[in-house]
Amino acid sequence: MSKPELSVPFVDLHAQYLSIKNEIDDAIAAVIRSSSFIRGPYVERFEDQFAAAIGIRHCVSCANGTDSLYIAMRALGLKAGDEVIAPARSWISTTETISQAGGSVVFCDTDADTYTIDPKQIESKITARTVGIIPVHLYGQPADMDAIMAIADRHSLWVLEDCAQAHLAHYKGRTVGTIGNVASFSFYPGKNLGAMGDAGAIVTNDTVLAERMAMFARHGGLTKGEHHIEGINSRLDGLQAAILSVKLPHLADWTRRRQVIADEYRRLLSNVNDVVLPTVAEGRRHVYHLFVIQHPQRDGLARHLATRGVQSGVHYPVSLPFLQAYQHLTHTAEDFPNAYAHQARILSLPLYPEMSAAQIECVVKAITSFQTNG
């Protein structure tokens, strides 16, 4: 077989850096000049800017998108025996933090089409010990928030939105992160808004909760020398904050670019046998952190793409209830049929704002050639 002339990486963070190199380099130099490494003006400015971008009152920055979930649940007062309902499909941060905050994980299956938590199945999981629900806007598509909020209201539960993959996604005109009681964001480098290292934030309109979260993340005190409670050390650093402030104004354009690429994939792959394209439910604005297709020969297709120079990924190969970490819950495939079926069929195609038309075409040709061979 001849060598592919064009390779398509799964993401290309360096391409994004080159597109804003001067701004980034200047921002980093400014932080170094002022030695504002921890807290300080760059962190405060990014918190204000991010809150404004989401359209919410408070943003509490922290070290990463896993800490943000943990901090939110500690501030919500999670305690031993409390149960939290979470989707069977997500990154493990969503549920490991429930356990670490002292609660118990209760999994709910995901919807067959959108991969987000299936609200029709939530109520059957609620017990006298249930305190909250964590919808995950997986791959960049909002979960069905109206149905989830109605259930939460009926049972007096809090809702913590995991927005790690869904910066600027909308649900019926509302930006995700503003719908539940509190929301968690990750700025891991590969996320739609990514730092050059670890970073995260929690947002809320609840002033009391915001103060409690900030206090817990900063050793239990907001003023020097005072510690009202025992907390943790989870901080966004000045360099990451300055980098994020440079990137934030570009996020709307990058998001549109993701949507254009997704539309292009849809157009070019719509008649390809065996390829199931992502479904976008009514009233939702998908921001395509990932473009996830399904294919009955997923592993064969991924290998074929690799030989054609196209990187792909599987997010995630084992659904949460079936991980070794949750073996003690003794779940079986029948408990979460959608999550179980999807894990063997899903494949994430390359998608990042800087992708060229030739690269999109290269991915499409690689997929269609598998059809003819396979």
Ligand X SMILES: *Cc1c(COP(=O)(O)O)cnc(C)c1O
User: Which residues here bind ligand X, judged by CB under 6 A?
Assistant: 64-66, 90-91, 93-94, 136, 162, 164-165, 186, 188, 198, 200
158-162 and 182-186 beta bridge pairing: parallel
User: C-beta of 158: minimal distance to ligand X in Å?
Assistant: 17
Name the closest residue to ligand X (Cβ). Answer: 65
Nearest residue (CB) to ligand X, 180 versus 200: 200
User: C-beta of 36: minimal distance to ligand X in Å?
Assistant: 22
**Number of neighbours of residue 5 by Cβ within 10 angstroms:** 8
What six digits make up the tokens of 176? Answer: 């995700």
User: C-beta of 70: minimal distance to ligand X in Å?
Assistant: 10
Nearest residue (CB) to ligand X, 143 versus 355: 143
Nearest residue (CB) to ligand X, 109 versus 198: 198
User: C-beta of 18: minimal distance to ligand X in Å?
Assistant: 24
User: C-beta of 234: minimal distance to ligand X in Å?
Assistant: 11
Nearest residue (CB) to ligand X, 66 versus 255: 66
Nearest residue (CB) to ligand X, 247 versus 304: 247
User: C-beta of 315: minimal distance to ligand X in Å?
Assistant: 8
- HSE on the CB side for 251, CA within 13 Å? 23
User: C-beta of 188: minimal distance to ligand X in Å?
Assistant: 4
Which one, of 121, 183, 368, lies nearest residue 265 by Cα? 368
Nearest residue (CB) to ligand X, 199 versus 367: 199
User: C-beta of 199: minimal distance to ligand X in Å?
Assistant: 7
Nearest residue (CB) to ligand X, 36 versus 186: 186
Whether the CB-CB separation of 291 and 259 falls below 8 Å is answered with no
Nearest residue (CB) to ligand X, 66 versus 204: 66
